[in-house]
A = this chain, B = another copy of it.
């Protein structure tokens, strides 16, 4: 039952249409000790496959390397079209510390995988996010700018040398960004107003770029079917910017407009700690530890 350390990986592959190829890319995550495939979904418009997998560090590393090898073999970016920007057969590979692991360990794992893909598959690798070797390489969008087609020219610039591999994209598989980051929580708060300006203004007030919380990205969205609006939020580090804090601040901001929160929603997966911390706040729990959670103990 027990994996002592758990890391999550969410590799994005540039194949969203050919189900046989998708099966072959996902296969290395199936039936392996120390690895558990949680989810995979392909988008035909994006022509992209997103895999969610957890595992013990070494077993996860080996499975991810194997899947990258399959993708490099199967996907030719010269013939790839889709709505989502991409620079490689394996576009991005984030490692996320989940249990009994530090960010430092996730960073070390990302660097090990990046070194290996360059050596095994001649796939140049950029380290991004927490693994980045320079501030201008932290943001994935900045690394990916120019995409597959522009990468040969871009990589001639000294500031866009890859961290591993030669300074030219793989002829069919391009390049890959590999790094470590905290778990993302996609969290939306619904407002009792149809006025998008209000949702947008609240989004601005709470997000980092405009002076709000450090680990919040947000935008206003119309939910036309329901005749309401929504503050659509990406929580980029729920351990430092807590869910309940964002919820309560949105409530406070909405008050200015006579608007209330009608509900909220979590999209996709959320670590239990993000919600247990929220319960702990509202109940005013004293001396509470995650070690008191039965599932924490079962997973140990």
In the complex, are the beta carbons of A292 and B279 less than 8 A apart? no
Q: Is A232 an interface residue (CB 8 A)?
A: no
- Known contacts being A271-B295, A293-B270, A299-B298, is A264 close to B278, with CB within 8 Å? no
In the complex formed, the residue of B with least CB distance to A2 is B36
Of residues 244 through 299 on chain A, the ones whose CB sits less than 8 Å from some CB of chain B are 244, 247, 261-266, 268-272, 275-276, 278-280, 282-288, 292-299
* Complex: A271 Cα to B1 Cα, angstroms: 18
Of residues 1 through 41 on chain A, the ones whose CB sits less than 8 Å from some CB of chain B are 1-3, 6, 8, 34, 36, 38-39
In the complex, are the beta carbons of B286 and A272 less than 8 A apart? no
* Complex: A288 Cα to B285 Cα, angstroms: 23
26 contacts between A and B (CB under 8 A): A39-B297, A54-B297, A54-B298, A98-B294, A243-B279, A244-B279, A244-B282, A244-B283, A247-B283, A263-B284, A263-B286, A264-B284, A264-B286, A265-B286, A265-B288, A266-B285, A268-B292, A269-B292, A269-B294, A269-B297, A270-B292, A271-B295, A276-B276, A278-B282, A279-B279, A295-B299
Q: Is A190 an interface residue (CB 8 A)?
A: yes
In the complex, are the beta carbons of B36 and A1 less than 8 A apart? yes
Min CB distance, A225 to chain B, in Å? 13
In the complex, are the beta carbons of A243 and B1 less than 8 A apart? no
In the complex, are the beta carbons of B283 and A278 less than 8 A apart? yes
- Known contacts being A1-B1, A269-B292, A276-B272, is A285 close to B264, with CB within 8 Å? yes
* Complex: A263 Cα to B264 Cα, angstroms: 25
Q: Is A183 an interface residue (CB 8 A)?
A: yes
Return the 8 tightest CB-CB contacts between A and B, nearest first.
A278-B279, A275-B279, A263-B284, A279-B279, A282-B282, A263-B286, A272-B295, A275-B276
Q: Which residues of A contact B (CB under 8 A)?
A: 1-3, 6, 8, 34, 36, 38-39, 54, 98, 183, 190, 243-244, 247, 261-266, 268-272, 275-276, 278-280, 282-288, 292-299
| This chain's copy number in the assembly | 2
* Complex: A120 Cα to B36 Cα, angstroms: 40
Q: Which of B266, B283, B287, B295 contacts A295 (CB 8 A)?
A: B295
In the complex formed, the residue of B with least CB distance to A284 is B263
In the complex, are the beta carbons of B261 and A284 less than 8 A apart? yes
Residues on B with beta carbons closer than 8 Å to the beta carbon of A183 = 294
In the complex formed, the residue of B with least CB distance to A34 is B1
In the complex, are the beta carbons of A243 and B36 less than 8 A apart? no
* Complex: A2 Cα to B244 Cα, angstroms: 31
* Complex: A271 Cα to B272 Cα, angstroms: 11
